[in-house]
Chain A
Amino acid sequence: MMRLIVGQGSCGNAAGANKVYAAADQLIKQQGLDIRLESTGCVGMCYLEPIVEVINEAGERSTFVRVTEASVVDIINNYTGDKAALDGLSIPQEDKSILDKQTRIALRNCGNINPEDIEQYIAGGGYAAIEKCLRHMTPQQVIDELKVSSLRGRGGAGFPTWFKWDAARKSQSNVKYMVCNADEGDPGAFMDRSILEGDPHSVLEGMMIGAYAIGAKEGVIYVRAEYPLAIVRLNIAIEQARQKGFLGKDIFGGTGFDFDIRIKAGAGAFVCGEETALIASLEGERGMPRLKPPFPAQKGYWQQPTNINNVETFANIPWILDKGGDQYAAIGTEKSKGTKVFALTGKIKKGGLVEVPMGISLREIIFGIGNGIVGDKQFKAVQMGGPSGGCIPAQLLDTPVDYESITKTGAIMGSGGMVVMDETTCMVDMARYFLDFTQKESCGKCIHCRLGTKRMLEILTRICEGKGKDGDIALLEDLANKIKEGSLCGLGMTAPNPVLSTLRYFRDEYEQHIHHKKCPSKQCKSLLRYEILKDACTGCTLCARKCPVGAIAGERKAVHTIDQEKCIKCGKCFDVCNFSAVTVD
């Protein structure tokens, strides 16, 4: 039977995939067509969505992009007949090759299988790794295999996964917990969501393997409540796994190993990326970090040994146990093995999710895969690591993507957000944006973090508003260092990074703002000055009519002028003038 598969991650649905699905469904039912309609997760090519794939009886695949309610009807009607009519809808060759430039391990199934059908996951070799572990390996052997792979936690800090598992395994207790952190916090990244939506079983299987290794009987997935689709698909996956006997008592039959998983919806707090805060939140408390030790591996959830890994880490694990740790370690650099998923966004032409081997350069990702900057503008910087990270400037584009090299630039690998910025992005404003975020998200326990970030935000806001003072840069640096020292958890310790890294590479922009009251990227409104060019103004009066505050004066057919005192820099005059007579500086 012919299959028609619609990519329905959150991103696809946002682009209209659910409407495409409904239109296809209606047509198939109406005409009684012999077509199986399915849905899948995000393949990562978000800029081409909605994406529809057709697989005919012979198993040939055709991919169609930017599909609409109308064009899906064309696809269905013409697919068996006049295929040439569909040429315009087919995926361009250059886009197809984007997948070839990637190495997909964590994303191996995303966009390929129906996430709501456990059989498809199994057909692709799913749940073989856990069964192998349960039947043929000891927990110690599982951990050893992981050690060979050198997998490091994909949530941000990059701590070796085997080490954490080993510590939890060595903790003596009858009750242990395996926790999946699916509370993706970086406000510009969505790797984990795509995996949960596109391949939930790989996460479940990863957790099972971990549970067996450390001896946990209970698993909890702490997932952002703002990810409703991920929660739905996880619930379906868990239910299907239970029915198969993969979760529950004596899983897989005759193994004697009990393990079950439940979901706990987080309620939105960035600080819950911190393990001890996440545990507090799981217990129904405010998510505030506490001092370590004791580490969660000794005393975690309900004071029992607990291991926490993030979604992407778990998604890698079945592959590693299946193919062997050495296969994984064969990819990547000396200290950073394997692959990493990035959410490539911002001013990028071909944004989406990409999974690449560690060690490839930023340039290869941004220009090779992402195809460069929208409108072919000048690349300025790429932000990595979100609120804990920093901006990497153009001169460092050849930096290889691995934990150590990225850290050296002042950014961090983080969970995989990669926001590309061009010449129109103001770096002081970026720093202000992130401080605004961390300042709101600080849990308030440490004075340096709670008040320090607030003070830094005030200074940055002042600079952006044209009220920067001599000494502001030194003050920022001083505060930054004190906050780093005086904070208990990662949130506070890394909060100043966006400021420090922009100061390091874009100090002149700060100076322009402070000393010359100019924003080189023309983003900081208060620093702009709109003016009308005498020679170009035709006196059409359009700007004067559009100006919301009546700041523009002038007779018809005579040169107009702007009263700078009244002007609120809304930019309307600039936008409407047909003669490019309005300038902004």
Chain B
Amino acid sequence: MNCCNGCHNQGYEKLNPVFEKYRNKPGSLISVLQEAQELYGYLSMELMDYIAENIGVKPAKVHGVATFYTQFRLKPVGKYLILLCQGTACHVNGADAVKEAITEELSIEEGETTSDNLFTLNNVACLGCCSLSPVMMINGETFGKLTPAKTKEILREFKARESKSAEVTA
């Protein structure tokens, strides 16, 4: 049994100003979820329940909306979020091979996170840089004209950066 005095809600105070902002604005559920995801990285069950309680809708509705839209993530994401474009132009120009390269390098499939919590792979539709296709975006930075080899190289660079900073902290 979960403890019942609400202690599992610890750490969600950051949402209070969000609730305040949308208090008298009907139809703001999606906006609240967007801000919650921005703050906490993903929407956990507890977080969704907490939101439901605070804005006065049923948890079922919050879950329904959160699972309907592709933007919402229900699982935690790694430090680096890889958005792999699956738009038409990228598909035609070899996005599948890029996907395989990522899977080979990191052993993750779409929607999964590496065991060291470094990388998460998500598919997206057109990133708007079709002239550079195939394209992926890692934490906001775009990488274009990818080949399997180039993709692996980029990922290795990220990994190297990480192990370096780990050494420094050690």
CA distance in complex: A194, B128 (Å):
8
A283 CA / B126 CA spacing, docked (Å) = 26
A152-160, A417-425, A480-488: which lies at the B interface?
A417-425
Contacts A267-B72, A284-B65, A286-B64 known; A187 to B128 CB distance under 8 Å? no
Nearest B-chain residue to A417, judged by Cβ: B88
* CB <8 Å contact, B69 and A352: no
Quick one: which of B30, B31, B93, B130 contacts A190, CB cutoff 8 A?
B130
CB-CB contacts of A184-218 with B at 8 A, as 1s and 0s? 01111110011000000000000000000000000
The residues of B that contact A225 with a CB separation of less than 8 Å are: 34, 71
Complexed CA–CA distance, A10 and B71 (Å): 19
Set of chain A residues within 8 Å of B126, measured between Cβ atoms: 186-190
Is A149's beta carbon under 8 Å from chain B? no
B93:A347 contact, CB within 8 angstroms: yes
- Residues of A in contact, count (CB < 8 Å): 51
Q: A188-B89, A425-B92 are in contact. Are A267 and B71 (CB under 8 A)?
A: yes
In whole angstroms, what is the CA distance A268 to B71 when docked? Answer: 6
Q: Are A345 and B88 in contact (CB under 8 A)?
A: yes
Given the contacts A187-B86, A188-B87, A383-B88, A269 and B69 also touching, CB distance less than 8 Å = yes
**A190 pairs with B128, CB closer than 8 A:** yes
Give the number of A-B contacts (CB < 8 Å): 128
* CA gap between A39 and B127 in the complex, in Å: 20
User: Chain A 327-349 against B: per-residue CB contact (8 Å), 1 yes, 0 no?
Assistant: 00000000000000001011100
CB distance A281 to B89 under 8 Å?
A: no
Contact mask for chain A residues 227-261; partner B; CB cutoff 8 A; 1 contact, 0 none: 10000000000000000000000000000000000
Chain A residue at smallest Cβ distance from B142: A14
- CB pair B129–A421 under 8 Å, yes or no, is no
Establish whether residues B88 and A187, one from each chain, have CB atoms under 8 Å apart when the complex forms: yes
**A381-433 at interface with B (beta carbon < 8 Å):** 383, 386, 417, 419, 421, 425, 430, 433
Decide yes or no: A351 and B131 within 8 Å by CB, A187-B86, A226-B124, A284-B28 being known contacts. Answer: yes
Which residues of A sit under 8 angstroms from B59, Cβ to Cβ? none
In the complex, how many angstroms separate the beta carbon of B74 from the nearest chain A beta carbon? 13
CB distance from A374 to the nearest CB of B (A): 9
Task: Say if the beta carbon of B47 comes within 8 Å of chain A.
Answer: no
CB distance from A10 to the nearest CB of B (A): 5
Partner of A49, one of B33, B69, B88, B131: B131
Interface residue B132 (Cβ < 8 Å from any Cβ of A): yes
**A146 on the interface (CB 8 Å rule)?**
no
Contact of B144 among A15, A187, A437 (CB under 8 A): A15
B133 within 8 A of A: yes
A283 to B86, CA, bound (A): 29
Select from chain B the residue with minimum beta-carbon distance to A422: B92
A419 engages B89 (CB within 8 Å): yes
A71 within 8 A of B: no
A193 to B65, CA, bound (A): 25
Shortest Cβ distance from residue B34 to the other chain A in the assembled complex, whole angstroms: 6
Residue of A at shortest CB range from B29?
A284
CA distance in complex: A99, B148 (Å): 35
Q: B27 within 8 Å of A by Cβ?
A: yes
Which of A46, A287, A383 makes the CB contact (< 8 A) with B130?
A46
A283 and B27 form a contact (CB under 8 A): yes
- Residues of A with C-beta under 8 A to B31: 264-265, 284
Contact residues in A for B30 (Cβ distance below 8 Å)? 264-267, 281, 284
The smallest beta-carbon distance between B66 and chain A, in angstroms, is: 9
Q: Is the CB of B69 within 8 A of A268?
A: yes
A269 to B66, CA, bound (A): 12
Assembly CA distance A15 to B89 (angstroms) = 16
Tell me if A188 and B88 are in contact (CB < 8 A): yes
User: Does B26 touch A at the CB level, under 8 Å?
Assistant: yes
Q: Does B125 contact A (CB under 8 A)?
A: yes
Chain B residues with CB under 8 Å of A268's CB are: 69-71
In angstroms, Cα B132 to Cα A343, docked, is 13
Residues of A within 8 A of B72 (CB): 267
Distance in angstroms between the alpha carbons of A49 and B28 in the assembled complex: 39
Interface string of A273-285 (1 = CB under 8 A from B): 0000000011111
Beta-carbon nearest neighbor of B64 in chain A: A286
Name which residue of chain B comes closest to A436, CB basis: B86
Query: In the bound complex, do residue A269 and residue B88 qualify as a contact, i.e. CB atoms below 8 Å apart?
Result: no
Within 8 A of A (CB), among B113-149: 124-133, 135, 142, 144
A277 to chain B, nearest CB (A): 10
Least distance between A26 CB and chain B CB atoms (Å): 19
Q: Looking at A190, A267, A268, which has the most chain B CB atoms within 10 Å of its CB?
A: A267
Please state if B92 and A419 are interface contacts (CB–CB under 8 Å).
yes
Q: Can you name 12 extra interface pairs (CB under 8 A) apart from A226-B71, A226-B124, A347-B93?
A: A10-B129, A10-B142, A14-B132, A14-B135, A46-B129, A193-B128, A225-B34, A268-B69, A285-B29, A347-B92, A351-B130, A433-B88
Residues of A within 8 A of B (CB): 9-11, 13-15, 46-47, 49, 185-190, 193-194, 225-227, 264-270, 281-287, 302, 343, 345-347, 351-352, 383, 386, 417, 419, 421, 425, 430, 433, 437, 443
7 nearest A-B residue pairs (beta carbon):
A188-B88, A46-B131, A187-B125, A267-B69, A14-B142, A345-B130, A284-B29
Contacts A/B (CB < 8 Å), 23 sampled: A10-B128, A10-B129, A11-B129, A11-B130, A49-B131, A185-B125, A187-B87, A226-B71, A226-B125, A265-B30, A265-B31, A265-B34, A267-B71, A267-B72, A283-B26, A284-B27, A284-B28, A286-B69, A345-B89, A346-B88, A351-B131, A386-B88, A437-B125
